[in-house]
Structure 1
Amino acid sequence: MNFKLTIIASSVVLAISPSLQAQEEVSIFDEVVVSGTRSEQSIKNVPASVSKVTSEEIEQNLATDVKQALKYEPGVTVNGRGRFGMEDFTIRGMSGSRVKVMVDGVEQPSSYNPGADVMRKNSNTFEVDTLTAIEVNKGPSSSLYGSDALGGTVLLRTKNPEDLLEAGDDTHVGVKTGYASANDEYKATVEVANRTGDLESLLIYTYRDGNETEAHGDGADIEGPERGTADPFNIASHNVLGKIFYQINDEHRVGFTGEYYTRSADGRILSREGYDGGGGFMPGFVYTNVRADDKDERVRLGIEHEWLAGNVAFDSLEWKLNWSHSESEHNSYDHTGRYQNRNRARAGTDESVQFDVLLQKEIQLAASRHELTYGVAASDNSFELEYTDHFLDTGTSKPGTAEVPKSDSEKRAIFAQDQMFFMNDKLVVTAGLRYDDYKATPEASSGLEEHNSDSLTSRLGAVYHWSNNFSTYAQYSEGFRAPTIHELYYDKDNAAHGYKIVSNPNLKPEESKSYEVGLRASNGVGALELSAFFNDYTNFIQSKTTEEGGLDVTTNKNLDEAEIYGAEFKGSLWLDEVVGAPMGSYARLSMAYLDGEDKKSGDTLNTIAPFTTVVGLGYDAPSEMWGSELSVTMVAAKSANDWEAPEDGSDPNVEAPSYTVVDLTAYYRPANDLTLRAGLFNAFDEKYWQYQDLEGVTASTQGVDRRTQPGRNWGVTLDYSF
């Protein structure tokens, strides 16, 4: 059937991902992804919503971090701001450790946030200039990726030499530099790649130097909790990525990867000056001379081997062994009447060894074709906190109270998937099954118990291609999340302050079941995708506080059940084909609707994003020498009734107001190897808050203006390669 888009549909047809280039007649659904099936596969054959943001799109939007790279992606938000930077991802209402994050298949530790203002261990160590793509698998995907993929998976894929090199022996050298006014950041990137015979190599170095991202310009530039502007915090980062691949022969290829990222930050925390930690009732707790000096690091080393065997058991076998280490060190300085001058030094470390084996086999039968993917995965992880309080006037120190003891965890898994092609590939059925076993062991001196849990997750989906231009799909998938070390072993007896936190090693994994249906259509004038989903979550882990013997006793329990449902649309349209606009003119549209509730209380979940629409109009000259794009992001309000009601009857959350933000980007390419890009963001200087930055904010909260997004700002980049 010849699927045609009418002009009425065209107002709704315009797709979201930040950019469509002057076009070849290739559908965006022919784009290859790996996150949907763990093998290279066209999006059109994946029975689920999978989004891909390429390195070209990241560059076109002048993105300086992952948050900006995904800002136009429907159903996806990136959380975190200020001193500690990016914290986690939210996908269709699921966030934190309920979303799995991987770099080149290597699991990344979830952020650690015990609630104190001096300790965070965030996921802020990703350099976008090293990425060839960001893939987002929306919805539960534990049958592919195991624990933490309860609500979805984010796969960050770094560049390989072949992404930069032409066929045959070749050398690539690229230099990028840029400036972003939102955080006064300068950056420089150098990338070098080479292929000589059977040896390929790559080296990318990026340096960034800037400040904490600004809030809107009309906030009060004062010292104290009512401060309405960003703190004067300096932030610099270095990232080095190196890869070497050697083609031993036609069957064997080996590779080595090393990456090092470091982020340093220091400055005054003016928003804490004069803060009264005693609430006016305890003298000696007014903070002055507040400043901080932080350092975050991430290191990984990996070896991989691919064998094109072509035997009865498998066509290819790939194994990878990776070691990774991440550490956050925070030095928080202040002066109080009680402690005088002090440094609360806080450090957190994650270290892991991960081993993966992936086998693939294609089987051709009389009436069907099968692409089998199966394998095993194993990882050992260690988490440790180290806290020390230094009293600078006396030169003494004492151990700080760490919330969680040093703990080790082990994950073991076996999985299999069959992607079945019937009816001359018109019908594609995907079935998967995975078994995961998880064990957590706290340090013996803690006196806490070992935790064991396991899970069997499945997936069944199908795509039917009614024609070359129109497909429908449906999928059922399951997810689970093993309890985190924090949830299992947070244990603190603070009777002097009237409370006690009790560990619970007997927590059960959280579980999810997801149902999704959708359609995809494309032809010479545009493309669209529409999906609807319903996700059911059980055994949600929640802290519960009761009064026992005059103390508030808090422990984690499997208490909650939740449901989340919604619909997403994205589409693109070639305006030259539809309305006779100049060749290279296009439009994009995305819309995301989400709703959900705690099934016991009936409250809307705090992580439910308000209705969001992104519209784009762009032009790419047929000569590919210049182009521009106008993007308009419209977000509805999240009213006070759309937040969970506080259990203790305290003040409700404030409303997150609606907003409309206009961005304009352009590029000019005077030579094939030289590209200049510029962007004007929030062009009309809209004052707005992202809803996640207002969670927990009530009418009495101080410094709300400090949570706003930047006002009018601009950026520029220059890219030269040869």
Structure 2
Amino acid sequence: MNKQLTLIASSLVMAFSSPSLFAQDSVSQFDEIVVSGTRTEEAIKNIPASVAKITSEQMNKNLATDVKQALKYEPGVSVNGHGRFGMEDITIRGMKGSRVKVLVDGVEQPASYNPGADAMRKNSNNYDIDTLTAIEVNKGPTSTLYGSDALGGTVIMRTKNPEDLLQGEASHVGFKSGYASADDQYKLGVEAAKQIGDLETMIIYTYRNGHETDAYNTHDDSKGVTRKSADPLNIESHNVLAKAFYQINNANRIGFTGEYYTRNANGDILSRDGYTIAPGFTYTKTRGDDEDTRKRFGFEHEWLAENVMFDLLKWQLNWQQQRSQHDNYDHTNRLGNRNRYREGKDTSTQFDIQFAKSIELAQSHHQLTYGATVINDKFDLNYIDYNLDKGTSKPGPTEVPTAKSEKRGVFIQDQIFLLNDKVVVTAGARYDEFKAKPDADSGLKDHDSDAFTGRLGAVYHWTNKFSTYAQYSQGFRAPTLYEMYYDKDNQAHGYKIVSNPNLKPEESNSYELGFRAENHVGNVTGSVFYNDYSNFIQEVTTEVNNFKTTTNENVEKARIYGAELSANLWLDEIINAPMGTYAKATIAYQDGEDKQTGKTLDTIAPLTSVVGIGYDAPNETWGTALDVTMVAAKDNWQDKNNLNVAGYTVVDLTTYYHPVKDMTVRAGLFNALDKEYWQYQDMAGANKTTNGIERRSQPGRNFGINVNYDF
């Protein structure tokens, strides 16, 4: 595996060693505009950090059905979660969970809630990618831009606006349909947009109906913990996104957004049927009935003021609620038939204001951005235990009391263009304050913490085809309500969990060096990074007379370092291949350790590479691509008893065809060689005694087909 990756890297270097590398006679490949790097629209070439953008066109080409598939080829990024509760979170360069911030149209998304019990999860699986125009990934700490939780990076999902559908026309209607065999999912979507004078409106509706995502073995009908196939689920989702924008005058524009997503999943949890946790507690008739919803309503205003204080003012006010409900049915010898109802809900009101000012000086040009963010959030759990035989119910044991949190942040950033734009310096600073207040009945203390973060980076354009960059940035993460207020005294089982509202924010310092280059044969980017983390929150357990006491404390320090390389090559320029033939390759390497113990971090991804070759016909009527993903073994864990995960190679083949101007047919064959494999993040915590390892495997050979028609 390592020899293959070394050969790939050497080939990329050779391809870009020609004397014409720094030629200045064509348009830059790095003029792609992103917003995640500076909070404003800026070309990637001027950002001193690794920023990736996955467009809706790329998602369509790969026949992605969810965020996990949309990001599967992005180096240094992986999506976690599988089975009944779906996508849990995103890992960027070894950081996961609430250490990676997720935003949808600038609206902060709550982190997943996982108290450890199999009856309750509140996961982040309620985003429909057919509404997205792009997903941007800012790798590394970005707290100076986005505040708490951007300790390890930021993922920004940008939904479509009316102009994305209209594309200069007065109206648009489009239909989408598709099928994916990996989860037997059928999709039907419709989108419509209309411009009437200064008013632009749109609506997108997507319906999906499918089943559980297959494990490699799909034919095991047995019950119990040794079951090899995934538990059967029926999954149905609906998503509606509506927007309206009105141009009041040349200087003012307002917009309204409404979105509603719901996902229902139900089925028999056959892998738990027959499981015995204690004498008299053997589970049978296990079944789950889940509903996840996300609702948001927003108002935004842009004012092109061009006054002495600011040129542009943008502000938005959003309300969002994300809720997960789980009915957990089972039968035990002692309790009979029961339903453990578990509900978790995040409700937030978010206000964001941003000013932009352009300042021209004799020797420099400044793009000043400053503003503030206010987020009020309420988190509450509702647990009820029903005895279905007796017709009785009682409150269930919640882990965390109802609590409110407040986030306040102010920021400023200056992007300075020097030496006729050859040098671009980006400097920023931010102050954040975080408060948490649990319900008074809990008897737990309030929390109050704050953080200053800074950022300094620079890009040097040696030519308009070659640039290097360097950046130092800081990140922080306020402790979660779960970490501070989990409080449980279980004397009968010999343990208790003690809350700790005095936790300090986690902190990070990041250093990154990189380059971007291109010539007539393609483009290449590379970066090396070193991230240092402190005040990591970790469970600490003490034991006295066989009684265990656990609490969270700021005790851990860690470091993560690595390198990434990505390239696109135009083969018609290199070897006289047919016009439109290209190749691409990415390599991502990570390493790191817990500085307290010297052990590796379980979130460190193994060496990963994606190599592809494709063809797009010059008349744009058809195209095809072959992508090969190679992942090394994961054989270094914090717990030496953790099962090692074998390396693997997976081959995907996709194609598209335009039979008529406004119709596109896409098809894909995934894991074409029918490889049985496991992703490392699904195997954390698994050892030789863990049952059901086969259920954690990825699907075998599978296919998908999509049809889009616009008129």
- In the superposition, the TM-score normalised over structure 2's length comes to 0.97
Alignment map for 1:141-152 (pairs within 5 Å): 141-152=142-153
Q: What amino acid is aligned across from residue 271 of structure 2 in structure 1? A: S
| Equivalence for 2:704 | 715
Instruction: Within 5 Å, give how 1:511-526 maps onto structure 2.
Output: 511-526=507-522
Q: How does 1:294-305 map to 2 (within 5 A)?
A: 294-305=290-301
Q: Residue 340 of structure 1 aligns with which residue?
A: 336
Q: Residues 14 and 205 of structure 1: is their aligned pair in 2 closer, same or farther, counting only changes over 3 Å? A: farther
SS in 2 for 1:189: strand
* Separation of aligned partners in 2, 1:13 and 1:720: 42
2:669 aligned with 1:689: no
- Matching residue within 526, 534, 539 for 1:538: 534
Q: Which amino acid aligns with 1:368?
A: S
1:560 corresponds in structure 2 to 556
2:428 aligned partner? 432
Matching residue of 1:36 = 37
Query: 2:645 matched to 1:656?
Result: yes
Query: What is the distance in 2 between the residues matched to 1:125 and 1:486?
Result: 21
Which amino acid in the other structure matches residue 392 of structure 2?
Answer: T
CA distance in 2, matches of 1:656, 1:218: 21
CA distance in 1, matches of 2:186, 2:257: 27
The residue that corresponds to 1:255 in the other structure is 255
Deviation at 1:552, TM superposition (A): 0.4
Q: Distance in 2 between matches of 1:214 and 1:83?
A: 12
Q: Distance in 1 between matches of 2:660 and 2:402?
A: 56
Give 3-state SS (helix, strand or coil) of 2:214's partner. Answer: coil
**1:29 Cα shift?**
1.2
Does structure 1 residue 84 correspond to structure 2 residue 85? yes
Q: 1:164: how far off? A: 1.4
Secondary structure at the aligned position of 2:174 is classed as strand
The question of whether the paired residues in 2 share the 8 Å contact of 1:13 and 1:527 is answered with: no
Amino acid of the residue matched to residue 644 of structure 1? Q
CA distance in 1 between partners of 2:13 and 2:173 (Å): 41
Which amino acid is the alignment partner of residue 668 of structure 2? G
Give how far 1:370 is off: 0.2
**TM-score normalised by length of structure 1:** 0.95
Query: Counterpart of 2:127?
Result: 126
2:630 alignment counterpart: 634
Change (3 A) 1:221 1:658: farther
Q: Gaps (5+ residues) in structure 1?
A: 1-5, 16-23, 646-650
1:291 maps to: 287
Change (3 A) 1:620 1:614: same
Q: Tell me if the contact between 2:456 and 2:472 (Cα under 8 Å) persists in the aligned partners.
A: yes
Distance across 2 between alignment mates of 1:538 and 1:129: 38
Q: Is the 8 A contact 1:210 1:235 kept in 2?
A: yes
* Counterpart check, 1:698 vs 2:687: yes
The answer as to whether partners of 1:12 and 1:589 remain within 8 angstroms in 2 is no
Shift of 1:165: 1.3
Tell whether 2:350 aligns with 1:354. yes
The within-5 A match list for 1:172-191 is: 172-191=172-191
Q: Give the Cα separation in 2 of the matches to 1:14 and 1:361.
A: 42
Identify the residue that residue 656 of structure 2 maps to in structure 1. Answer: 667
Counterpart CA distance in 2 for 1:327 and 1:160 is: 26
Q: Are 1:600 and 2:596 an aligned pair?
A: yes
Shift of 1:196: 1.6
Q: Who is 2:322 aligned against?
A: 326
- For the residue of structure 2 that corresponds to 1:600, the secondary structure is coil
- Aligned equivalent of 1:49: 50
SS across alignment from 1:30 = coil
Report 1:77-226 matches (<5 A): 77-167=78-168, 170-217=170-217, 220-226=220-226
Aligned-partner Cα distance in 2 for 1:8–1:41: 29
SS in 2 for 1:102: strand
Aligned to 1:70: 71
CA contact (8 A) 1:358 1:373 kept: yes
The one-character-per-residue Cα deviations of 1:681-714 (angstroms, maximum 9, x if unpaired) are 0000000000000000001100100000000000
Confirm whether residue 461 of structure 1 aligns to residue 450 of structure 2.
no
Structure 1 pair 218/389, CA: closer, same or farther in 2 (3 Å)?
A: closer
- Are the counterparts in 1 of residues 206 and 240 from structure 2 also a CA contact under 8 Å? yes
Equivalent of 1:387 in 343, 363, 383: 383
What is the aligned length?
A: 697
Of 627, 631, 638, the match for 1:644: 638
Match of 1:583?
A: 579
Aligned amino acid, residue 180 of structure 1 = A
Quote the offset at 1:123 in angstroms. 0.2
Same amino acid, percent of matched pairs:
64
Q: Please, which runs of 5 or more residues in structure 2 have no aligned partner?
A: 1-6, 17-24
Per the TM alignment, residue 10 of structure 1 is displaced from its structure 2 partner at its CA by 4.9
Tell me by how many angstroms 1:525 deviates. 1.3
**TM-superposed deviation, 1:671:** 1.3
Which residue pairs with 2:665 in the alignment?
676
Q: Could you say which residue in structure 1 is the equivalent of 2:19?
A: none
Which aligned pairs between 1:440-519 and structure 2 lie closer than 5 A? 440-519=436-515
Counterpart-to-counterpart distance in 2, 1:288 and 1:126: 33
Change in 2 beyond 3 A, CA 1:568/1:8? closer
Q: What's the C-alpha RMSD, in Å, of the aligned pairs?
A: 1.5
Query: Over residues 506-564 of structure 1, what are the superposed CA-to-partner deviations in whole Å (9 max), with x where a residue is unaligned?
Result: 00000000000000001221000000000000000000110145420000000100000
Quote the Cα distance in structure 2 between the aligned partners of 1:302 and 1:720: 30
CA distance in 2, matches of 1:623, 1:614: 27
Partner SS, residue 163 of structure 1: helix
Task: Select 2:367's aligned residue among 350, 367, 371.
Answer: 371
What letter is aligned with 1:385?
L
The code of the aligned residue for 2:627 comes to S
**Are 1:30 and 1:42, in contact at CA under 8 Å, matched by a contact in 2?**
yes
Residues 1:701 and 1:523: Cα distance change in structure 2 (over 3 Å): same
Structure-2 separation of matches of 1:25 and 1:82 = 48
